Structure 1
Amino acid sequence: AAGLQISNRLTRQIKGLSVAVKNANDGISIAQTAEGAMQESTSILQRMRELALQSANGSNSEDDRTSLQQEFTALSGELNRIASTTTFGGRNLLDGSFGSTAFQVGASANETISVQHERR
């Protein structure tokens, strides 16, 4: 009876740890998804800065400025699209609505990692 009890306890711990590993991997995936979107957003913002500086050049024609503005506007739309469509598990990661979540990453109830996204 004691051997069966020990076996059952160890089996429960193993199953709990397996779920904890999956939860930790979900947390990593959320971070990777957000990071990829932020890297793309950074590239877009850098290009928008280049366009703004290029547009400030006094030698540009009206057609040049119009073309630069069109690209800038398209990039702004892409930036908004990234912010509104970057999701994980049905939750938006970049629009400020994510709030916080906790991941159970161990076999014990107090073994959690919290992730918070604050709108600034």
Structure 2
Amino acid sequence: MPPTTTYFDQLRQAGYYNQRMSRHEFWTFTLVNAMLTYLVHGIPVLNAAAFLVFLVLTGFAMCQRLNDAEISRKWLIMLFLPYVNVIGLFWLLIYMCQPSYPATNDHGPCRV
């Protein structure tokens, strides 16, 4: 599946944090978000707005990815704690690389 198709499919499902997102979908979505943020970096008005939009979209994508790996979303709270967020970011990076939970869980069937 082309990256643009994956990205637009995930944009349509962005507000639903109670779904699943496979590892491929998550990293494609994150990479396209990073490229778009870099493209609007030079435009001051779009820079702040795009940063906030992409931050919220990445938060929803991280929730969906944790749902897919059958890991509690409570791990995202570590990003907001001072001095702990560096360690939390490291652990979340490891969790984002975990394979999908192969069976159906509370958030739907496996989409791999």
TM normalised by structure 1 equals 0.35
Greater C-alpha Rg: 1
